[in-house]
């Protein structure tokens, strides 16, 4: 996949309980319409997820997740975007790959199910490996690091080596520090401030700050404009892929930021 920074990854959450849009797109038709709208606004990638990873979220069964995402992947196959499946489950990833998905976005970075790596290797698709401290149910309970940036870097380096060892082409791996996944506001800010440390791993970095509650801790009340500011900051520090819910709101801001590059 040719990456010309910044790539906008539009979020399609087919869930009743996601952070900010839970329940809005549980109906497949609504999710498909949302996906098409995000592509028309400028998303090159659509990230389709059937399980919420918000803090405290309960896990979803594989059958339920499959039931949620399959019709949406089918309905978006001709959308013009590369489809990404946001899942930790190999069964869900396999079904999505059969339906044409080109990216596996695993927020557990293949820790939940290591066999996910072989699946990605055999399919020859891209994957995104994300850092998370602990698991969604408990990750926001007093997260601590020696140095958040070096700890996340060491984790991503190890997961990248694991992925490559399982046969995944290094060129097909994206890395993500996992904004909000077991991190305080200060941790999230520090990861963006020192993004160069993660870029030194040599892989494109994905950042998902969009609509996250950590923005409220900065006093933000309008999470869309706050998300745009965070995306621009991440882009300026070298992020390649921005995972966002409000594609239209990001397009012009990033185009202008890019003009300064």
Active-site positions read 212, 243
CA–CA distance, 249 with 132 (Å, rounded to integer): 27
Judged by CB under 6 A, the stretch of 48-56, 158-166, 224-232, 252-260 that binds ligand HH2 is 48-56
User: Taking the CB of residue 259, how many other CB atoms lie within 10 A of it?
Assistant: 7
* Under rule CB under 6 A, residue 54 binds ligand HH2: yes
Contact positions with ligand HH2 (CB under 6 A) in 171-210:
176, 178-179, 206, 208
Bridge partners of 35?
Answer: none
Closer residue to ligand HH2 (CB): 90 or 136: 136
Which residue in the set 7, 8, 12, 19 belongs to the binding site for ligand HH2 (CB under 6 A)? 19
Mask for 132-161, x = binds ligand HH2 (CB under 6 A): ------------------------------
Exposure b/e, 72-96, CB count within 10 A at least 16 = b: bbebbeebebbbbbbbbbbebbbbb
Judged by CB under 6 A, the stretch of 9-17, 58-66, 67-75, 108-116 that binds ligand HH2 is 9-17
Closer residue to ligand HH2 (CB): 70 or 108: 108
* Under rule CB under 6 A, residue 39 binds ligand HH2: no
> 242: which residues sit within 8 A by CB, 6+ positions away?
6, 7, 8, 9, 206, 207, 208, 210, 231, 234, 235, 250, 254
- The answer to whether the CB of 27 falls within 8 A of the CB of 33 is no
CA–CA distance, 112 with 89 (Å, rounded to integer): 8
* Under rule CB under 6 A, residue 215 binds ligand HH2: no
* Under rule CB under 6 A, residue 243 binds ligand HH2: yes
Please report how close the Cβ of residue 107 comes to ligand HH2 at its closest, in angstroms.
5
CA–CA distance, 144 with 140 (Å, rounded to integer): 10
* Under rule CB under 6 A, residue 107 binds ligand HH2: yes
Task: State the number of binding residues for ligand HH2 (CB under 6 A).
Answer: 22
CB closest to ligand HH2, residue no: 208
Which residue in the set 6, 8, 15, 172 belongs to the binding site for ligand HH2 (CB under 6 A)? 15
- Burial bucket for residue 224 (CB in 10 Å: 0-12, 13-18, 19+): middle
Judged by CB under 6 A, the stretch of 14-22, 68-76, 183-191, 214-222 that binds ligand HH2 is 14-22
> 186: which residues sit within 8 A by CB, 6+ positions away?
none
Contact positions vs ligand HH2 (CB under 6 A)? 11, 13, 15, 18-20, 49, 52-54, 86, 105, 107, 128, 130, 176, 178-179, 206, 208, 211, 243
């Amino acid at each position: 996949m040719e990456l010309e920074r910044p790539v906008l990854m539009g979020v399609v959450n087919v869930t009743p309980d996601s952070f900010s849009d839970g329940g809005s797109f549980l109906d497949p038709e609504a999710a498909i319409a949302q996906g098409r709208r995000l592509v028309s606004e400028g998303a090159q990638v659509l990230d389709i997820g059937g399980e919420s990873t918000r803090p405290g979220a309960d896990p979803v069964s594989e059958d339920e997740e499959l039931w949620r995402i399959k019709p949406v992947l089918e309905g978006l196959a001709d959308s013009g975007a590369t489809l990404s499946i946001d899942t930790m489950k190999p069964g869900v990833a396999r079904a999505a790959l059969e339906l044409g998905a080109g990216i596996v976005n695993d927020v557990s970075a293949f820790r939940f199910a290591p066999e996910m790596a072989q699946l990605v290797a055999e399919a020859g698709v891209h994957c995104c490996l994300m850092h998370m401290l602990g698991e969604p149910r408990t990750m926001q309970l007093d997260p601590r690091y020696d140095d958040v940036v070096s700890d996340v870097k060491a984790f991503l380096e190890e997961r990248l080596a694991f992925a490559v060892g399982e046969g995944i082409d290094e060129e097909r791996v994206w890395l993500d520090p996992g904004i909000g996944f077991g991190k305080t506001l200060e941790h999230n800010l520090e990861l963006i401030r020192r993004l160069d440390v993660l870029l030194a791993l040599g892989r494109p970095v994905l950042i998902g700050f969009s609509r996250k509650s950590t923005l409220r801790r900065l006093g933000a009340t309008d999470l869309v404009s706050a998300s745009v500011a965070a995306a621009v900051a991440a882009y300026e520090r070298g992020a390649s892929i921005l995972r966002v819910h409000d594609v239209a709101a990001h397009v012009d801001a990033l185009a202008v930021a890019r003009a300064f590059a």
